[in-house]
Amino acid sequence: MTANKFEIVPEIQRTVALPPKASINAALGANHDIRTGLDELVDNSIDAGSSMVAIILHTRAKRIVQLSIHDDGVGMSKDKLEDVLRLGGHEAHSEKNIGRYGMGLKEGSFSNADETMIVSRVRGQHMVGYQLSKTSFDAGLLSENSCTQVWNTRPDSVKSSSGTSIVWTKLPNVYAGTDDQEAGRFLNRVSEGIRLHLAIRYHRFIEDGRLKLDLYSQVDDMLPISAGPIRGVNPFGYRRSARKQYPLRLTVNGDPEAPGITAHLWTNRSKTDEFNLEGKDELGHQGFYFYDADRLITQGGWSSFRSPHKQWKLARFEVDDPRVIENYLTISPQKGSVRLHESFYSFVKQLRNPDDTSIDFGRVLEDAESVIRASNKKSGKPDPLADTGRGIARSIQEVLWASERTKSADPINVAWGEVGDGGLLELDHSEHLIIINEDFRAHFTHGHVGLNDAPVLKTLLYLLFNHLLSSGRWTGKSASNADLWIAMLNAALEEELDETEKVRKRVGSAFKGESAGF
């Protein structure tokens, strides 16, 4: 049989190597900002068995001049470090291993630094280090002295005998202007942005104690200062669900052992970080939350599954089953988005609740809509209040935020202190402050003092004096109302103290009688 005239059979004379040009590093460095670039490095630290990761913003005159990240993982030998620094070099992915493509360290670093130093140490071995440059595929082997200098920048929290330190220098994406105020604002935005972003991405690791993340600032050659460990922010960390049967597990055909997802319904008008995540969205960050080896990949969104809808803004779907991750979608190399396979759509159609197979994915969206409708119907729009300030527990603040009825005014603060006339309290209108007499603190707290003690008393006083303290002017009428209300409270306190003393005497007399009988 003769070959088809359109068929070409190639004859290979020799093979020509076509390595990529160094300019590809610029393309690799176009996929991350500082926050997501740090994600890649934290991923590597987790895969290396780290329990502590410290990030340091090195500043000079309020300008970020260097950024470093340090961990207490197992470290890397010279051979392993060289392999990791090659494009595509990485360990095989597993359910416990976040790394997938061997691109993260390079992409995250090249996006944020023209030069990167990596120093690593395996327990019992000498440290080894390299410098990467965005303009070359070559890596510069660091001297022992340079490795030691990098290692000595590690804060006390990661003073271990093994681990890895990465230093970004020559940062192209930071403020370099002459306005000191703008430099300070930029520094604060970056610092808080990093803190919140990592708190969300790694909330599972933080909450169960597997990982401690700490953000430091270091001014010139001073010691780094920590703002405290990063607290996890759980996208499903509501105090109560909008419907008592939620969260709901949905699995293929309602089989408890089959792959599935978990459906959540938030309450309406929440103001918490857990609901607003990295920024308030009128659509509520609805949609899928994909996890890979417990690391959050997406913060909501439908990944082209469907278009967002305002009536579904309270619906969130937790997708962390490894069988779903491996079989129905592809995670992007930057691990910040996913591409759904065609099979994912049929997978969702088969989802049912094992306890009630009439409940499917569509039913969850219907429930989300009904919660919105019910919330809007019973929203009588209470009078707006000034926000709560110092001295009032966060849980009380969250209730106020959920109402979405705060007004533009300085927060009302409550504090224990000296009261001139010896009464229960006094007001400081200029400071928007309620001062409760320290002498009565033990009476209201039963000896259990703290920043947010006596929450009922403080909340009632906050509500009573909210309008007076948040008004723009302190008039004669305001002063008269305040004097009357405080006088009534002082009288009530005297009655309460008298009753308390009577009870104490009765109990004391009864105790003496029992002792005499004995």
Nearest to 55 by CA among 35, 81, 84: 35
- β-bridge partners, 351: 252
Burial bucket for residue 294 (CB in 10 Å: 0-12, 13-18, 19+): middle
d(CA 91, CA 14) in angstroms, rounded, equals 32
According to the model, what pLDDT value does residue 471 have?
80
| Alpha-carbon dihedral 240, 242, 247, 249, rounded to 10 degrees | 170
d(CA 515, CA 518) in angstroms, rounded, equals 5
According to the model, what pLDDT value does residue 163 have?
97
Cβ count within 10 A of residue 105: 23
CATH topology of domain 24-229: Heat Shock Protein 90 (3.30.565)
pLDDT in tens, the chain (518 residues): 455 666 777 877 787 766 666 666 565 656 789 999 999 999 999 999 999 999 999 999 999 999 999 999 999 999 999 988 886 555 544 455 555 445 678 889 999 999 999 999 999 999 999 999 988 878 999 999 999 999 999 999 998 999 999 999 999 999 999 999 999 999 999 999 999 999 999 999 999 999 999 999 999 989 999 988 999 999 999 989 999 999 999 999 999 999 999 999 999 888 899 999 999 888 999 999 999 999 999 999 999 999 999 999 999 999 999 999 999 999 988 888 999 999 999 999 999 999 999 999 999 999 999 999 888 776 566 778 888 888 888 888 878 876 667 777 888 999 999 998 899 999 998 888 999 999 999 889 877 777 778 899 999 999 999 989 988 778 888 889 999 999 999 999 999 988 888 877 776 666 555 555 54
d(CA 327, CA 341) in angstroms, rounded, equals 8
According to the model, what pLDDT value does residue 475 have?
85
d(CA 166, CA 117) in angstroms, rounded, equals 6
According to the model, what pLDDT value does residue 518 have?
41
Could you say which DSSP state residue 161 is in? S
**Cβ contacts of 451 within 8 Å, gap of 6 or more:** 390, 391
* Chain position carrying tokens 């620094």: 85
Cβ count within 10 A of residue 19: 7
According to the model, what pLDDT value does residue 227 have?
84
d(CA 54, CA 202) in angstroms, rounded, equals 14
DSSP SS3 for 57:
strand
Radius of gyration of the chain measured on its C-alpha atoms: 30
The pair of three-digit structure tokens given for residue 423, joined into one six-digit string: 């009464």
According to the model, what pLDDT value does residue 453 have?
86
**The amino acid at 100:** R
Show me where the domains of the chain are located: 24-229, 248-377, 394-502
According to the model, what pLDDT value does residue 4 have?
60
